[in-house]
């Protein structure tokens, strides 16, 4: 199973070195949650995250499926 992971803002620092711009493909050999992916790529556990899968906001417990596009954002503030 393969997914695409997109990282935004400060999380781009955790992209693999060979990734193009802000995303990379990741092969999974078993079912995983969005939180597990965030842990595997080294995102800090103490920093809140916004998870979006295929355009829908999800919780960290969302189970991924083949072809999913996972976007992970840090909290954003502005004004």
Query: Is residue 27 exposed (0-12), middle (13-18) or buried (19+ Cβ within 10 Å)?
Result: exposed
The CATH number for 37's domain is 3.10.20.30
CA-nearest of 56, 39, 57 to 47 is 39
Question: Does residue 69 register a pLDDT over 90?
Answer: yes
Instruction: Indicate the pTM of the whole model.
Output: 0.90
What's the domain count of the chain? 1
Helix/strand/coil for 71: strand
Look up the domain containing 40 and give its range.
Answer: 2-73
Question: What pLDDT shows up at residue 39?
Answer: 96
Tens of pLDDT, residues 3-52 = 999 999 999 999 988 877 899 999 998 999 999 999 999 999 999 999 99
Establish if 78 belongs to a structural domain. Answer: no
Question: Does residue 77 register a pLDDT over 70?
Answer: no
Establish if 26 belongs to a structural domain. Answer: yes
Question: What pLDDT shows up at residue 25?
Answer: 93
**Ordered strands of the 50-53 beta sheet:** 23-27, 2-7, 69-73, 50-53, 56-58
| Structure-token match 């935004």, residue found | 8
């Amino acid at each position: 199973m393969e997914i695409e992971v997109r990282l935004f803002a400060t999380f781009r620092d955790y992209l693999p070195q060979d990734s193009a711009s802000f995303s990379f493909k990741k092969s999974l050999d078993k079912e995983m949650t969005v939180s597990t992916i965030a842990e595997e790529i080294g995102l800090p556990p103490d920093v809140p995250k916004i998870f979006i899968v295929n355009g829908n906001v999800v919780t960290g417990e969302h189970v991924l499926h083949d072809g999913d596009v996972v976007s992970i954002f840090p909290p954003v503030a502005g004004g």
